[in-house]
Structure 1
Amino acid sequence: MKEQLQEAVELFEEVIIYGTEHVVKNLDVPIWKEYSPEQIQVLKILSTYGDLSSGKLAEIQGVHKSAISTRLKKLVEKELVQSEKDPNDQRSNRISLTAKGKEVLSISNEAVYENVEKIFKDRIDEQELEQFIETFRKLKTILLMKEM
């Protein structure tokens, strides 16, 4: 079991690395020229988690707070996110997506989907895709339970 789990983790990491590389190299979408993959990832994180502090964003992205501060400054300037004082803690700010940020993320998501669809078309059958979805739903549930 340990060897299989280790292989699964390694394969998952490699798929993320190769997938990210492929998407970054092959997406010919204007917003991917205007915004960095890290900025798009911030939008995706906010879309997934909802409003967050900059510290929590840094933790999720696995970067130093100064890196998040720089990204957030640019995203605020481009009106993709907004920063407001946390009503429960005036020392902290809450970062949230704006309507423009949601629109940019939607365009990015659609471009990524179309790219992935081209890669997998006629290479993965419906049963394999269903197994993949079932496994990832289960993993998501396990990971969400760990956060509680």
Structure 2
Amino acid sequence: MKDNLREAVVLFEEVMIHGTERVLKSVESPVWRLYSPEQLHLLKIVGKYGPIASGRIAVMQGVHKSAISNRLKKLNEKGLVEVERAEDDHRTKQIILTQAGHDVVEESNQAIYLYLEQLIDGKVEDDEIQQFIETFKKVKSILKIED
């Protein structure tokens, strides 16, 4: 079990690192030329978990708050996010995705989906994809990751 788990972790890391690199280099979409991968990731986080504090975004992206402040400023100027003070604590900024931000996230997601669909089409069977889904649902549950 432990050897299999170690191999699974190594493979997961390799796919995350090299897969991300390949997707970033290969996805063809105007939205991927307009925004950095970090900005798109931030928009996806806000879209999924928003309204969300900028400090939590920094933790989720693994960067200092100053990097998030810079990204948020640029995204706010482009009308993709709004920054509001939290009602319960006026020192905390809550980040909200605008409709334009939702549109960018959807366009980015669609570009990634189409790229990956073309990449694995005919190479991975439906039952293998289903097993992947079930395994990741279990891992997500174990990690207590919110929807």
TM over 0.5: yes
Local SS of the residue matching 2:122: coil
1:12 is displaced (CA, Å) by 1.0
Residue in 2 that maps onto 1:143: 143
Take 1:7 and 1:49, find their aligned partners in 2: how far apart are those partners? 31
* Residue identity in the other structure for 1:121: D
Local SS of the residue matching 1:96: strand
1:55-95 Cα distance to aligned partner (Å, 9 max, x none): 10000000111111111111111111110000010111101
* Residue identity in the other structure for 2:26: N
1:83-117 Cα distance to aligned partner (Å, 9 max, x none): 00000101111011111000000000000000000
Residue in 2 that maps onto 1:99: 99
- Unpaired stretches in structure 2, ≥5 consecutive residues: none
Question: Which TM-score applies when normalising by structure 1?
Answer: 0.94
Take 2:97 and 2:72, find their aligned partners in 1: how far apart are those partners? 11
Take 1:13 and 1:48, find their aligned partners in 2: how far apart are those partners? 23
Local SS of the residue matching 1:20: helix
Residue in 2 that maps onto 1:109: 109
1:16 is aligned to 2:16? yes
Take 1:10 and 1:67, find their aligned partners in 2: how far apart are those partners? 29
Take 1:17 and 1:36, find their aligned partners in 2: how far apart are those partners? 17
Residue in 2 that maps onto 1:121: 121
* Residue identity in the other structure for 1:117: E
1:60 is aligned to 2:60? yes
Aligned residues: 146
- Unpaired stretches in structure 1, ≥5 consecutive residues: none
Take 2:12 and 2:116, find their aligned partners in 1: how far apart are those partners? 16
1:24 is displaced (CA, Å) by 0.9
CA RMSD in angstroms, aligned pairs only: 1.3
Residue in 1 that maps onto 2:28: 28
Take 2:51 and 2:3, find their aligned partners in 1: how far apart are those partners? 38
Could you list the structure 1 runs, at least 4 aligned residues long, displaced by more than 6 angstroms after superposition.
none
